[in-house]
Structure 1
């Protein structure tokens, strides 16, 4: 975009004092930088299409900046003081561009012209988030960004994501797998916290010829604190809202051959009905331990298939024995109440089972990764 008189020239003194030198009034120069403020040279190739182009005037003000490509001029904005121009749209893949810039200063004019070629994409990756924009979530909900293609250059992906919170809170990124990155604070969110996530992925190099294909902006608000504790010693689930126990539900947890994992779970989908099929984890439906049946009022707690759900067939065991295949069996009334009360991101803690801890990379076991490990990151 051409800039015509976007700002006035800087004011300079009429006279030079003894402490000054005419050398201070140098002819203006112009620098051009791309991704992560790296200098861009003439005839540069492989320029990241999604990274902003920044043009800066030194010892003067920009009088014009024009970046032209196959689709015409690239739009951008100039800083209030007239010294800096930044592009605000993604460039095309595998395209040639020309940048011309001019600056005015007290000791003359400066100019810069370069050509460059953007990188070509072998494939594109879409980013998405699991939370609906404006959703109210539980205190355990991480900021979650999913990609439909594995990400090799995880650091580039992280650098294109910005998370802001009100009130401010420190947090860190951690990759659950090659396609899923999460951001969370050290402790559960404070109720009422507002969270904004902006992932500017369009044109970002994700490695191995894969580039981001879209941008994602999303907000969520943290609601009241709901934490449910399932204790296998008592076979009871105590549900607390804002620190007060509001419901106690008898439960039957995983039997010894298929125990419930210990640890902290994050509530995900709440489904009126779910088909549970043992063959999905390697147990044939027609085997003695196999099953395929519809369960109702099912609240997902893990990607590995653990739900809190209605189980009228185990009412006699709830509160006394463990007979499930890992899920938390509760009565139809309690299952319906929990499904209608819980939010995405609410917390369920299972303790005193014979099972191992829920893995941190399960997909809903984020809080089982120690903070020291999470904060260090794995990009």
Structure 2
């Protein structure tokens, strides 16, 4: 994987201090009734020396392992920011902004990984100008991982669709990853996180979504240490909406799949499900990916293709129902059994026309209920079986013990007067 690194540059931030300078002039060069001003020597360490501005920065000179996700901040006590210049290794200026009161500055562009920066701060006060210079280096990750939110941005989903964040590396610090994810809903809906694998995090409410709910997901992973030397490669943001409630009910007692929308039956389809040696699990499934054609290969779940139970076939109009290989799909070879007998390896066989209708009509996150089979219940951590896990267990989560709060870095003071 490529490592993150960002170019920084544009303009330095300069704060005019005309009013402040005028105040200083009035304070140190006042006159009395036409008499010449009285000049007094000021000894080092006297009260005037104590009036020099003090600069506090979020980084210190020589510091390493600085997070590139956090803005560099500067504050001034006893004065105001005159000029701040933050340079990257190419001597380009990292942009920043001064606060309205002139007492602080912060960078406005994120930094890059494994890069050295030079920070110079000039502050003006009653006793002159403080000029501070420091150099620091950002963290060098051992590896980086990119977050991929599901659903896609702008997608209309079914009432069962969880928020999903997939990573392309294993996540050792699950709490750090969870804390990087923010879920906002309209109207507000409480929910909870659960990890279905070392690379996939889900968030769902206690009950199915209400149609019309809008959801926004922000993953602020960049610069975050996610454990074992792995850092977030980038941030990610998606927004999606919940559509009409559509429920597919596959009943092994009737060998039929009944489809309802808003509680009204809109289609009934004969099916052939898993035979007695490979029964289809009961429970609540979610519609996942839909494809017009795919290759189904038994070796992907441990059964050699050339064994008695093995297969490798092209399948049309396949709708994913689980991560462990269960699909609704076109099966013209089992038309004779659909509606009367189970013959599959666990999938829901449909006629070509019915399978095509499902692929082109179903939404990601639509509910599929399988009942009355000889199989167990689909695992709640399958990846598309979220609703089979009791809410109390889901809400408790599985990120491990909550970490103790880490103390923030102590501010570093750097002051000098010229």
Q: State the match for 1:327 in structure 2.
A: 347
Alpha-carbon separation, structure 1, partners of 2:111 and 2:199 = 25
Equivalent position SS for 2:303: coil
TM-score (norm 1): 0.82
Correspondent of 1:356 among 376, 381, 396? 376
Q: State the match for 2:194 in structure 1.
A: 174
Judge conservation of contact 1:202–1:213 (CA < 8 Å) in 2. yes
Residues 1:101 and 1:271: Cα distance change in structure 2 (over 3 Å): same
Please tell me the root mean square deviation across aligned C-alpha atoms, in Å.
Answer: 3.1
Q: State the match for 1:21 in structure 2.
A: none
Q: How does 1:163-312 map to 2 (within 5 A)?
A: 163-312=183-332
Which deviations, in whole Å up to 9, do the C-alpha atoms of 1:24-55 show, x marking residues without a partner?
xx99766545xxxxxx5554321122233344
Q: How does 1:2-21 map to 2 (within 5 A)?
A: 2-5=13-16
Q: State the match for 2:43 in structure 1.
A: none
Q: State the match for 2:143 in structure 1.
A: 123
Structure 2 residue runs without a partner (length 5+): 1-11, 21-50, 400-418
Judge conservation of contact 1:146–1:181 (CA < 8 Å) in 2. yes
Alpha-carbon separation, structure 2, partners of 1:307 and 1:219 = 27
Shift of 1:220: 1.6
Correspondent of 1:45 among 59, 64, 68? 64
Q: State the match for 1:315 in structure 2.
A: 335
How many residues are matched?
357
Q: State the match for 2:87 in structure 1.
A: 68
Residues 1:227 and 1:59: Cα distance change in structure 2 (over 3 Å): farther
Alpha-carbon separation, structure 2, partners of 1:6 and 1:267 = 62
Judge conservation of contact 2:13–2:98 (CA < 8 Å) in 1. no
Q: State the match for 2:46 in structure 1.
A: none
Q: Which has the larger radius of gyration?
A: 2
Alpha-carbon separation, structure 1, partners of 2:152 and 2:65 = 35
Residues 1:180 and 1:84: Cα distance change in structure 2 (over 3 Å): farther
The one of the two structures with greater contact order (alpha-carbon pairs below 8 A, sep at least 6) is 2
Structure number having the greater strand percentage: 1
Correspondent of 1:89 among 109, 116, 140? 109
